[in-house]
Every structure is written in structure tokens, then in C-alpha cells.
Structure 1
Amino acid sequence: MGVDPELRGRGVARGLYTEFIDRAAAAGRREVRAITSPANTGSIAFHQAMGFVLEEGDREVDGLPVHTDYDGPGQDRVCFRKRITARPATAGATEGA
């Protein structure tokens, strides 16, 4: 997910993730995953603040676990996961969403 830089700090990403996680939980999912570049420190901090945990990688970059060539040669990524619990569907959530 990406948010227009002019909209950052307004809760847009948090709102989108909250809705997505609510829908995933309502659909019976128990985990969500995300990735970002190891250079994207803002994204890393945001995901950790949202309760995502870093997954073990095959090497470290600046103290972060990374998955080498995750998105192709030279495209290393930091991977996250967040366990979720079943929650009631949110208003407006549709089955199978």
C-alpha cells in the first residue's frame, strides 16, 4: 500500500490497514503480511507501530533482517507479519472481500 506523501500523517494508511485487517479477520484469516524496502525507514516504523513484526531474513542490512532479491535481482525487502484474531465484520464489509 502506498499513500500520497501529501496525505501522510493524517491516518489514511492506518485507516486502510484497519479496514483491510478487519475484513481479513471477518473472512477467517489469521495473519497478514507486508513488505517494504530496507531503506524505507518510515514504512518500517509505521508497520512496527501497527503491530507488524519483522520476519527473519537470509541476511541483515543496517541491522534489519532482509530477504535478498525478494522482488528481483538487487531488490531486497524487509518482510513483516501480523497475527490477527477473529473480529466481527465491519459495517460495509462484504463477504469474500
Structure 2
Amino acid sequence: MTPTLRPTLRQAAPGDYDAIAAVVDGWWGRPILPALPRVFLDHFHRTSLIAEDAGALAGFLVGFPSPSQPDEAYIHFVGVAPGARKSGLARVLYERFFGVAREHGRHVVRAITSPVNTGSVAFHRRMGFDVTGPVTGYNGPGKDAITFSRTI
């Protein structure tokens, strides 16, 4: 972490959605909000995380134990404010989520990204994830994905 960043982490709440929605497109520099509908925080807030620094949103992780794969958890979306990038905050969010996943009896964490998101691929490699892909047509015709898997 950078010396000036002192984030606090907490469990997400449904009401956090509006704060995330207000910044996420700007953080990505393109429209990305449609990939994170409100339903994720309505139904998975207890296993999702919010990072705040000086009362402002610094980052978030939306993840949940898989209801269909009893040994797995899934990280759906992670965001870190541009000013907090390269501070270690994403790693902290992931490590905390690994603990949440273990508390729910999960031993594998999965995630996906677009093949053009080379920063995400590099980050997941550094975090010890196995990287597969691009998987042709993962999200339908012409919509390839990179998949990540890590045993915790």
C-alpha cells in the first residue's frame, strides 16, 4: 500500500450499489456498468467487499460462493479507484475474499475477463491463478474469455 492510502474493508451492503454505479464507468474509461447490475449487491452483498479511504470509495469486490459448484467461489467484478491502483488494494481485496470463500467451505476461486484485458490477466497470474484461454465463444458466438482458477 502507498503510505497515503489507508483503506478500511467491510462487507458490502445493497445500498453501496449507487456509489459503485456512480464511479465505475469513469474508473474504466468506458461504459462497464451493464456488467454489474444491482442484483449482484442485492443478493451477494454478504460475500462482497467495499474498501473505503477517508470516507470515499477506494475499491470493491463482488464475489460469492457458487450455488452450483459446492467447492467453488466466483469473483464477478473488482474495481479499484485510479488513484489507488498499484497500491496493493486489489491484492488485499482478493486475499480477504479468499478468507470469505474458505469460511463458506470453498477451496477454488474462479473469475473471467475479456482477452483484451491484459492488465487483469497479468494481475491474476501474479496472484497465483491458473490462466486458460482465450476460450472461444465462452460468452456466446464471438465473445471469447480468459478464465482464471486458483486453489485456496
Task: Give the alignment's TM-score, normalised by structure 1.
Answer: 0.68
Q: Give the gaps of 5 or more residues in structure 2.
A: 1-77
> Residues 6 and 70 from structure 1, CA distance in 2 versus in 1: closer, same or farther, beyond 3 angstroms?
farther
Question: 126, 142, 146: which one pairs with 1:49?
Answer: 126
Following superposition, the deviation at residue 37 of structure 1 comes to 1.3
Higher strand share: 2
Counterparts of 1:35 and 1:2 in 2: how far apart (Å)?
A: 14
Task: Provide, for residues 43-78 of structure 1, a one-character-per-residue CA deviation record: whole Å limited to 9, x for no partner.
Answer: 1110010010113xxxxxxxxx21223234432110
Counterparts of 1:77 and 1:4 in 2: how far apart (Å)?
A: 24
Displacement over 3 Å in runs of 4+: none
Give 1:77's aligned residue. Answer: 145
Counterparts of 1:44 and 1:66 in 2: how far apart (Å)?
A: 11
Structure with more contact order per residue of length (Cα contacts < 8 Å, sep ≥ 6): 1
Q: Give the gaps of 5 or more residues in structure 1.
A: 56-64, 85-97
Number of residue pairs the alignment of both structures matches: 75
Counterpart mapping for 1:1-97 below 5 A: 1-55=78-132, 65-84=133-152
Counterparts of 1:75 and 1:6 in 2: how far apart (Å)?
A: 31
SS at match of 1:2: strand
Task: Give the alignment's TM-score, normalised by structure 2.
Answer: 0.45
Counterparts of 2:85 and 2:140 in 1: how far apart (Å)?
A: 28
Give 2:72's aligned residue. Answer: none
SS at match of 2:100: helix
Identical positions, percent = 51
Counterparts of 2:79 and 2:102 in 1: how far apart (Å)?
A: 22
Following superposition, the deviation at residue 2 of structure 1 comes to 2.3
Note the aligned Cα RMSD (angstroms): 1.4
